[in-house]
């Protein structure tokens, strides 16, 4: 982890609620896709943890959904503004386990960290399949970006307005793959866990205090003891996850 | 040269800045970021006899000028603290350590302190009496002068090290609790623990915290902390460790003017992992700008005249 200042060089909406922010500065604290940054925003006490979508040279791309005060505030940041970040947080995805034909499964705003992962896996010469799930057509983002990386992209929308009508797991069921990586909402995780045919990695979300392992705010139980989502995660391996009992 | 040193219950500190329990782990995580030897001391993560996961998540919520937490004393238990955490802490910190201890019965407090008592580097016990008493209907020890005194007396019997009792601010009369602890053998008082609070999510229409309520900390609580430090200093002749929303060298000085001998930094460490270090570093020049040459001379100065 490192505290660093970065400059906003881009900030634009991709859909009605999803924005893409590009930052410039020191990206060296980041070592793997799936890590996150924790951003200090004026007027808000706690930092906001945002997953890293892409890192290229001294540029960092964050794709975020406006869900609350912090992310709404982020949409107001203009070009040239300086941001105080804790960077290089979390463990990130481990690409070494992917095999030759990994599958990436993303739902909604869980998709961004999979982009950086896809890029890395392609760089390693792997044949990547990607399933992107959205509620409806106008929420779709980054489809072309994944295709441009040379990944085989499948789309699923809950209302059938684009791609396959249904959920990511409807597509996942019929594909063959050597390993999977996923990020998305909990109901999607439950479904993925049910249909997955191989080992894989899930990236979790939790409300965090510090984002670097000090406050124990985001702990979860695993088969190998308690882990902090922010520090020992956010990525957990399928084999270690203790799924919460559903309500 | 500004003199930042203070003496807390007979133990000298280079400076009064102490990261507060629950915001600094067992120190070594922060040692990856900076040399924590610059700190006056540190109060380690609240330790209980048995390992605890704590409360269900979400257990963090933000609010104006602060945060709520309902972590619920997650810690690996005293045996693992002794065998795994303390060796790692001692490898990066050589000064006296403040051992923060919690319990759910009088016996548990005493047993945990007894296990830790052999650790030479522990300079003080800081006994958190804000936990619910399982044998007392779940009411917090700290809300009753009698229960707080029972815990103090039990810990007193197992250690000769200085004992600080960390009080809950969720009481009508903090002075009576402080007095009872002193009478039962406490060497000092730490205050304040977090203030009980709540947030409700407008979308789900449910409390944000899975535990429903949590402890408020951060700048929002500073005036309450100052008032309580001031009241206890006025009424009880006992060294005080002041805390609550401290985020700057100015805040440290303000807390000491109210009557604190040493000052803990809590939530600020979570927002800025370098907060405690920055406070230590900016103390001398801040003292100078207010015409203060020795910090120990300003303890309780707000009460004079």
Query: What distance in Å separates the CA atoms of residue B182 and residue B172, rounded to the nearest whole number?
Result: 18
- The pLDDT of residue B134 is 72
What pairing do the DSSP bridges indicate for beta strands B240-243 and B262-265? parallel
| Domains identified in chain A and CATH numbers | 2-89 (2.40.30.10), 95-203 (3.40.50.80)
| Residue in A with minimal Cα distance to B274 | A3
Interface test with A, best of B47, B64, B70, B270 (most A CBs within 10 A): B270
Interface of A with B in 153-182 (CB under 8 A): none
Query: What distance in Å separates the CA atoms of residue A71 and residue A49, rounded to the nearest whole number?
Result: 10
User: What residue ranges of chain B have pLDDT lower than 50?
Assistant: none
Domain-located, residue B32: yes
A86 burial level (CB within 10 Å; 0-12, 13-18, 19+): buried
**Number of domains observed in the structure of chain B:** 1
Cβ distance A209 to B63 less than 8 Å, yes or no, reads: no
pLDDT tens digits for range A4-60:
999 999 999 999 999 999 999 999 999 999 999 999 999 999 999 999 999 999 999
Domain with B296 in it? 6-55+76-196+217-303
The domain that contains B99 carries what CATH number? 3.20.20.70
- The pLDDT of residue A247 is 43
- The pLDDT of residue A205 is 93
- The pLDDT of residue B1 is 77
pLDDT tens digits for range A181-228:
999 999 999 999 999 999 999 999 999 999 999 999 999 999 999 999
The pTM score is 0.94
Residues of B in Cβ contact (< 8 Å) with A210: 23, 269-271, 273
Q: Report whether B180 contacts B145 (CB < 8 A).
A: yes
Domain-located, residue B248: yes
ipTM exceeding the 0.90 mark: yes
pLDDT tens digits for range B23-43:
999 999 999 999 999 999 999
Residues of A in Cβ contact (< 8 Å) with B222: none
Residues of A in Cβ contact (< 8 Å) with B25: 213-214, 216
Long-range contacts of A187-193 (CB under 8 A, 24+ apart): A188/A105, A188/A107, A188/A110, A188/A133, A190/A243, A190/A246, A191/A167, A192/A105, A192/A168, A193/A238, A193/A241, A193/A243
**Model confidence at A246: pLDDT above 60:** no
């Amino acid at each position: 982890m490192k505290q660093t200042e970065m400059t906003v060089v881009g900030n634009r909406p991709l859909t009605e609620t999803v924005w893409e922010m590009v930052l410039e500065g020191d990206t060296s604290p980041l070592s793997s896709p799936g890590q996150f940054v924790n951003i200090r925003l004026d007027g808000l006490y706690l930092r906001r943890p945002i997953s890293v979508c892409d890192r290229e040279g001294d540029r960092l791309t964050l794709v975020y959904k406006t869900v609350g005060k912090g992310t709404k505030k982020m949409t107001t940041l203009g070009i040239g503004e300086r941001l105080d970040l804790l960077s290089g947080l979390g463990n990130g995805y481990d690409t070494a386990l992917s095999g030759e034909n990994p599958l990436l499964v993303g739902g909604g705003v869980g998709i961004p960290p999979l982009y950086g992962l896809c890029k890395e896996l392609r760089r390693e010469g792997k044949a990547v399949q990607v399933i992107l799930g959205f509620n409806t057509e106008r929420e779709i983002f980054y489809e072309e970006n994944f295709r441009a990386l040379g990944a085989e992209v499948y789309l699923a929308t809950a209302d059938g307005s684009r791609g396959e009508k249904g959920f990511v797991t409807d597509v996942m069921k019929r594909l063959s793959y050597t390993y999977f990586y996923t990020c998305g909402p909990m109901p999607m995780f439950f479904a993925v866990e049910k249909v997955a045919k191989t080992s894989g990695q899930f990236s979790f979300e939790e409300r965090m205090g510090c984002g670097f392992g000090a406050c124990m705010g985001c702990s979860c139980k695993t088969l190998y003891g308690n882990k902090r989502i922010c520090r020992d995660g956010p990525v957990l391996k399928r084999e270690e996850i203790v799924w919460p009992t559903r309500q | 040269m500004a003199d930042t040193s203070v003496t807390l219950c007979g133990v000298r500190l280079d400076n009064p800045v102490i990261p507060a329990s629950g915001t600094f782990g067992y120190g070594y995580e922060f040692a990856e970021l900076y040399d924590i030897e610059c700190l006056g001391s540190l109060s380690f993560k609240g330790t209980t006899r048995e390992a605890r996961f704590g409360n269900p998540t979400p257990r963090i919520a933000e609010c104006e000028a602060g945060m709520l937490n309902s972590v619920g004393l997650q810690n690996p238990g005293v045996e693992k603290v002794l065998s795994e955490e303390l060796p790692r802490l001692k490898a990066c910190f050589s000064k006296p350590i403040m051992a923060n201890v919690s319990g759910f019965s009088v016996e548990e407090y005493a047993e945990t302190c007894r296990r830790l008592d052999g650790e030479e580097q522990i300079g003080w016990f800081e006994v958190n009496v804000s936990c619910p008493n399982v044998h007392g209907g779940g009411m917090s020890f700290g809300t009753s002068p009698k229960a707080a005194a029972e815990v103090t007396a039990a810990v007193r019997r197992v250690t000769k090290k200085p004992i600080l009792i960390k009080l809950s601010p969720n009481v009508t009369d903090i002075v009576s609790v402080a007095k009872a602890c002193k009478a039962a053998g406490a060497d000092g008082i730490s205050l304040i623990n977090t203030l009980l609070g709540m947030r409700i999510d407008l979308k789900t229409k449910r409390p944000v915290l899975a535990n429903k309520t949590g402890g408020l900390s951060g700048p929002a609580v500073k005036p309450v902390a100052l008032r309580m430090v001031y009241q206890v200093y006025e009424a009880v002749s006992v060294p005080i460790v002041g805390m609550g929303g401290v985020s700057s060298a100015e805040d440290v000085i303000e807390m000491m003017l109210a009557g604190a001998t040493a000052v803990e930094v809590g939530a600020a460490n979570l927002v800025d992992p370098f907060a405690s270090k920055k406070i230590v570093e900016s103390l001398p020049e801040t003292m100078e700008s207010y015409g203060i040459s020795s910090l120990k001379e300003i303890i309780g100065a707000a009460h004079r005249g």
